[in-house]
Structure formats: structure tokens, C-alpha cells
Amino acid sequence: MVMEFYDVIKTRRSVRSYKPNAVPEEALSRVLDAARFAPSGSNRQPWKYLLVKSPELRKKIATLCGGQHWIAEAPIVVVACGSDIKYDRGGYMGEMSFLIDSAIGLTHLILAARAEGLGTCWIGLFDNESIKEILDIPTGWNVAAVTPLGYPKDPKWAQPGKRKEISEIVSVDQWS
């Protein structure tokens, strides 16, 4: 079943409880392909996604994400990494541009996961150096974000949530 695009966006939620069911390879392939097609500065694509499937490694990653042990419930933990591409985008962006490019790619992955009926949760609290060490992430690469990926336990997980009104987040011509 393919979801309508705006339904995907409106019903995406942060899932913090997962079933142990495996993610079908076909669905995983589509989700990863969505990340692959994400835009990046000058199309440099400075990302790599590590799929952590080992239960032992998932537990270690969860511990390194501020002890959020529920992360390891998911059958896959995606560790999104980015590389400093030594490209000056100008201004304050500089070497941290990999974070933005990696975030765009992971957003594509997360929305595609929702379209497949899979849950995710963007994790920004993690020990970069320790995760790099246990996953053998090379020098020049850093963890940009982590997300569990799997089927949510709660059948009501995708209920629309409260969001700010457009008038609260958009201004025209000048800040207001």
C-alpha cells in the first residue's frame, strides 16, 4: 500500500516502542533508495548509513544514545554518518555542512519508512566517538544522527499530533 505524500508527512511520529518483526528486504531497499535520492550541496552526497542489525551492537548503540535502551528493540538501528567534504559553502556553514546534507538524507529515509508502515525516531543524543569506535567508522566521518527502524508496537502510533499554526512559523518579507 502506497501512502499519499501529505499523509506520510502528517502522520510521521517518533516511535519509542518496537515489535521484534524483521523489516522485509524490499521495504528496506525502498527506504534506503529514498535516502540515496536526497539532495545535497553540489550533489556531493557526503553520507553513509550503517544498518546495525546485531542485537549486541544495537544494545551498545542504545547505551551510547544516553541510555535510551528502547532503541535496541527495533530490528535495525540506522547510524547516519557524514563526511567533511572539504567544500566551503560559504559563511558559517563551512565544515559542518555534512550535518545538513546527512539530515536531509535521513529525513528522506524517515519519511519513506513511514510510507512503508515503519517507525523511526530521530536521535540526536549520542556519543559520537564511542559509536565511531565500535562500528569502525573511519577518520573524517562523524555520526550525524541515529534512528531505530522497525514496526511500532502501538497500533495508534501515527495519530496526527499538535503542530504550530502556519502563522506562527512563517513570515513574509520581514521577521514578524
Integer CA distances (angstroms), 161 to 14, 71, 83, 157, in order: 11, 22, 34, 10
Separation between Cα atoms, residue 80 and residue 51, nearest integer Å: 9
**Does residue 88 register a pLDDT over 80?**
no
**Does residue 87 register a pLDDT over 70?**
no
Would you state the pLDDT for residue 103?
93
Contacts of 79 (CB under 8 A, 6+ apart): 49, 50, 52, 61, 131, 135, 137, 143, 146
How many other CB atoms are found less than 10 A from the CB of residue 7? 13
What confidence tens digit (pLDDT) does each residue in 98-121 have?
A: 888 999 999 999 999 999 999 999
Helix, strand, or coil here: 22?
coil
Domain boundaries defined on the chain: 15-150
CA dihedral 157, 161, 166, 168 (to 10 degrees): -130
CATH number of 15-150: 3.40.109.10
Separation between Cα atoms, residue 72 and residue 164, nearest integer Å: 31
The DSSP secondary-structure symbol of 137 reads P
Q: Which position has the higher pLDDT, 41 or 7?
A: 7
Whether 68 contacts 58, CB under 8 Å: no
pTM of this structure? 0.92
